[in-house]
Amino acid sequence: MTHRITPLLLAVFFASSLAAESTPGVPDWALPGSSTHRQVPPPAGFHRDTVTFDRPIGLFEGQSDIGGPFTSGSAWYNSGTGTYKIKAAGYNIWYFRDEFRFLWKKMSGDFRLAADITFEKPKGFDDRKVVLVVRQDLDDNAKEAMAALHARGLIHLAVRPEKGADLKEAVHVDHQRNGHERLGLVKDGDTFTLLVSLNGEPLHAAGSTTLHFDAPYYVGIGFTSHQPANPDVALISHVELTTK
């Protein structure tokens, strides 16, 4: 995707970058929330090109650094254990654009995607998150539906109803992480259902929402550390991706 950055946006970007003294080169708005800082949306119209790699991995046809993160991601697949290891930075998957490493397969029709989720380091930044996601395209502001698990335990189903819109939470599940989480995302027509298993029980529905996608679209798994310059690692295993 080709995009234009106006002189005003360039000024905002570089001014913000200078303000982020603790992380040179990263704009202040992209720094994660803390006791002394509040993360805010990117400046209106801000985009970075996605970087896509012709690198099939496991079940997936390709992989992309959505939104051109400040720090590039990487991924490995262990066929013996059926585990995907994703190392990624990226400031967030929210607002009107995203930054994360995405392993994807181009699909049409209905599907069921499910996976076990853990973090290589159990203790770490609370807002890092793994997502099961469907995206209309690979641009940073694509229409999407996602099921997400945050490191602190929050689980939700959220949608970006149209390209460039803010993400909206549709289903919210408060949860204290125990390391046994399995999530699922099911597409049935225009209905998307969040599935959860929090203690080893069978996956069960936690809520749903509706959103229309034109075929084909991109279905897969992703991870962001929620910190633009500090990568982290997620482990996603026993991935099930089937058509219905």
pLDDT tens figures, 34-68? 888 888 999 999 999 999 998 999 999 999 999 99
What local confidence, expressed as pLDDT, does residue 9 receive? 41
Residue of 15 and 90 predicted with greater confidence: 90
What is the pLDDT averaged over residues 174-185?
91
The pair of three-digit structure tokens given for residue 185, joined into one six-digit string: 């995302």
DSSP state of 196: E
Q: What tokens appear for 63 in the block?
A: 């992989």
- Measure the N-to-C terminal CA separation of the chain; round to a whole number of Å: 32
Q: Is the pLDDT of residue 10 over 80?
A: no
124-151: burial string, b at 16+ Cβ within 10 Å, e else: bbebbbbbbbbbbbbbbbbbbbbbbbbb
| pLDDT tens digit sequence for 193-220 | 999 999 999 999 999 999 999 999 999 9
Pick the more confident residue, 99 or 123: 99
Q: Which residues pair with 196 in a beta bridge?
A: 183, 204
**pLDDT reading at 22 higher than 80:** no
Sequence-ordered alpha helix ranges (H) in the chain: 7-19
Residues 6+ apart with CB under 8 A from 7: none
Rg, Å, the chain Cα set = 17
Rounded mean pLDDT of 98-114?
98
Averaged pLDDT for residues 9-16: 38
Query: Average pLDDT of 160-187?
Result: 95
Residue 202 has a pLDDT of 96
